[in-house]
Each structure stands twice: as structure tokens, then as C-alpha cells.
Amino acid sequence: MNLNTDGLVIKESATGEKDRVVTLLTRDLGVIRAFVRGAKIAKSRSVSATQLLGYSKLSIYRGRDAYIVDDARPEEIFFGLRGNIERLSLAQYFCELAGEIAPRESEAGEYLSLILNAIHLLEAAKRPQPLIKAVTELRLMCLSGYMPDIAACSECGGSGDGYMYFNKETGRLFCSSCGTGNHGAPTGIGVVSAMRHICRSEPKKIFNFNLSEKGLEELAAVTEEYLLTHLQRKFKTLDFYSQLIK
């Protein structure tokens, strides 16, 4: 029985002379690995639909040992990213993150929408890269059960003034009166407010905020450290992107 869904190719590899193996982030099945028969044939519609970063309408069925993509109709290929290595590498980092965090073989619509929105913004270059990176990292963590406790100071319940201390291990905040270096790293209140916005806002609004260039750099560093601390693994695509922007 075929399932019709939509999905993004987050990883690809060749198998044989004509076929392709892809990892897909799908709306209805989450992250799955699937075979695409004939995807390397030049006249095949699946050539572009199933390449990395290809977003398509998919017809999928479960074979004896794996999923098979029976049909793929491209919706968006994101060709515009190919001309900028920084934006392309950041999009690839988002794909690697999704492959690590998004659920397997279960509904993942929020994850797919977040990654697609982030890649659209990267291609259009309408928002700063550090902002897109920070939003994607922190929102993914929230979706996967790692939402930090940043509504108020964990000690006194205050909302903070000037700066607060954010503990990346516990995900808790402390105001300048209650916190010390032992409670975490000092974090500007503007960055804290941005983190609250990312965690709480409805999906359509999470990228809609502004910070100074310095504030965005701080925000991106905080969200990256928080994510890496809790996932406890490295990402090759992040390492490559970091080298590019040095």
C-alpha cells in the first residue's frame, strides 16, 4: 500500500548504476531511509526530486527490507543555495540536525516545516545567517523535548535586567542578583528575550525578531553550545560551516 506524503532529502548516496539511496524527512513518517529506483537516469523525474535538499511530493511504499520511493514530484529544489557555499553548508547542517533529532517513522510535520522555512530564508537571504541558525537549533531542541527553562530566574522568579546567567547543562536561568559564574555564562537580556521568543512563538513568527550583530553572534553561540551539550555529539557539517565563517 502506497503512502502519499511530502518530504525533504536530507542525505543521499548512490547504489548501483541507476538507483539512489536517500534519507528523507517526511511529514507523515518522520525520518526514513528509502531506495529510489532509476533516480540516476538522466530523463527520470526523480533525478532532481531526490537529490540533496530536494523537497517533493512523494509516493512511498514499504518493501520487504526497506522503503521504496515509487514516485517523486519536485516542489522545491533550492537551486539558489548552490551559489553560496556558506548558506549551502548551513542548510546541510540543518539536514544533519534533522536526521539526528527528528522522530523515526512517526509524524514530523513541525520538524519538516521548521527546516523548510529555515532553508527558504537562507536561499532568499532575507534574515541574517546567525539568526536562522539560532532559531533552527533552539526550536529543534524544544520540539524534541529539550526546551530550556527560561521563563524567569530559577531562584527568585524575576525576569532579569541587563543580563542573566544561562546554564547550558541544566537549561536554567538566573538573574544577576541570584546567579554567579557557577550558575552559567552571563547572557545579555536581549539574547534571553530572543530565546524566549524562539521557544514560545507560533511557528510562523519564530524568525521575526531583531538583535544587533553582536547580539546575534551571542545568541547563535548560546544555542549551539546548548544543543551540543545535550546531544553530546559533533556534526561535521557544523565544523565545516564554522571554518567558513571564521
CA atoms within 13 A on the CB side of 184: 25
- The answer to whether residue 156 is domain-embedded is no
* Count of domains for the chain: 2
Task: Quote the cell numbers at residue 136.
Answer: 533552527
pLDDT at 42: 43
Mean pLDDT by 10 residues, the chain (246 residues): 92 75 95 79 60 93 86 90 95 98 95 98 95 98 96 90 92 91 89 97 96 96 97 96 94
User: CATH number of the domain that 204 lies in?
Assistant: 1.20.1440
Q: What is the pTM of this model?
A: 0.93
What separation in angstroms does the CA of 203 have from each of 106, 111, 115, 142, 217?
A: 20, 10, 11, 12, 22
Residues 192, 72 share a domain: no
Output the domain CATH number for residue 11. Answer: 2.40.50.140
Assess whether 221 and 99 both reside in one domain.
yes
C-alpha grid cell, residue 98? 534533522
Range of the domain at 210: 85-148+167-244
Examine the domain organization and report whether 119 and 62 are in the same domain: no
Count of other CB atoms within 10 angstroms of residue 41: 13
- Residue 155 lies inside a defined structural domain of this protein: no
